[in-house]
Amino acid sequence: MTRAYCTIEDVKGFGADKPGDLLDFVRSASQWIETNIGNFTPIVGTKRFDGTGDIDLTVDPILSVTSITDDGDSLDTTDYLLYPRNKWYDNGPYTRIRIDPDALTLNAWTWEEDIVAIVGSWGLYSETEDTGATTTQADNSTAAMVVDDASKIYPGAVLLVETEQEFVTGYGSATDSNVNLAEALDASEEDITTGDGTAFNIGEIIKIDFEQMRILDIQGNDLYVTRGWNKTKRTTHADTTDIYIYRTFTVERGANGTVAAAHTSKTVSRYVVPFDVKYLCKQMASLMRGKEDSNYAGKTANIELGEVFYMDEFPNKVLDRVKAEYMKPRRFGK
Residue 33 shares a structural domain with residue 83:
no
pTM here is 0.84
Q: Is residue 252 part of a domain?
A: no
Query: What is the length of the chain?
Result: 334
Average pLDDT over residues 77-88: 95
Q: Is residue 283 part of a domain?
A: yes
Residue 47 shares a structural domain with residue 109:
yes
Q: Is residue 253 part of a domain?
A: no
- Three-class DSSP category at 254: coil
Domain range for 111 is 43-122
Nearest Cα neighbor of 243 from 210, 220, 203 is 210
Q: With beta carbons less than 8 A apart as the criterion, state whether 245 and 206 touch.
A: yes
Residue 218 shares a structural domain with residue 282:
no
Residue 47 shares a structural domain with residue 118:
yes
CB atoms within 10 A of CB 322: 21
At 18 the pLDDT is: 53
Residue 61 shares a structural domain with residue 109:
yes
Residue 55 shares a structural domain with residue 33:
no
Residue 240 shares a structural domain with residue 267:
no
DSSP character at residue 331: H
Residue 148 shares a structural domain with residue 196:
no
Average pLDDT over residues 250-267: 96
Q: Is residue 209 part of a domain?
A: yes
Q: Is residue 334 part of a domain?
A: yes
- Among 43-57, 119-133, 317-331, where is mean pLDDT lowest? 317-331
Please report, for residues 65, 244, 257, 268, the alpha-carbon distance to residue 136 in angstroms, rounded to integers and kept in the order given.
29, 20, 21, 10
At 306 the pLDDT is: 37
The chain-wide mean pLDDT, for the chain, equals 88
Alpha-carbon distance 136 to 131, whole Å? 15
Average pLDDT over residues 143-150: 97
What are the residues whose beta carbons fall under 8 Å from the beta carbon of 152, sequence distance 6 or more?
129, 131, 132, 133, 203, 270
Inform me whether the pLDDT recorded for 66 exceeds 60: yes
- Strand partners of residue 123: none
Alpha-carbon distance 279 to 51, whole Å? 39
Alpha-carbon distance 91 to 274, whole Å? 9
pLDDT grade for 10, boundaries at 50, 70 and 90: confident
What CA dihedral angle connects 122, 258, 283 and 319, to 10 degrees? Answer: 10
Alpha-carbon distance 305 to 133, whole Å? 30
pLDDT grade for 323, boundaries at 50, 70 and 90: confident
Average pLDDT over residues 116-120: 98
At 112 the pLDDT is: 95
Q: Is residue 109 part of a domain?
A: yes
CB atoms within 10 A of CB 45: 14
Inform me whether the pLDDT recorded for 276 exceeds 70: yes
pLDDT grade for 23, boundaries at 50, 70 and 90: confident
Q: What is the CATH number of the domain that holds 188?
A: 2.40.30
Residue 52 shares a structural domain with residue 115:
yes
Residue 49 shares a structural domain with residue 104:
yes
Q: Is residue 84 part of a domain?
A: yes
Which stretches within 214-256 are classed as H helix? Answer: none
- Among 108-117, 241-250, 256-265, 293-302, where is mean pLDDT lowest? 293-302
Q: With beta carbons less than 8 A apart as the criterion, state whether 170 and 155 touch.
A: yes
Residue 67 shares a structural domain with residue 109:
yes
What CA dihedral angle connects 316, 21, 169 and 13, to 10 degrees? Answer: 60
Q: For the chain, what percent of residues have pLDDT higher than 70?
A: 87
DSSP character at residue 205: E
Segment 153-192, tens digit of pLDDT: 988 889 999 999 999 988 999 999 999 999 999 999 999 9
Q: Is residue 251 part of a domain?
A: no
- Three-class DSSP category at 37: coil
At 214 the pLDDT is: 93
Residue 323 shares a structural domain with residue 200:
no
Q: Give the count of domains, the chain.
A: 4
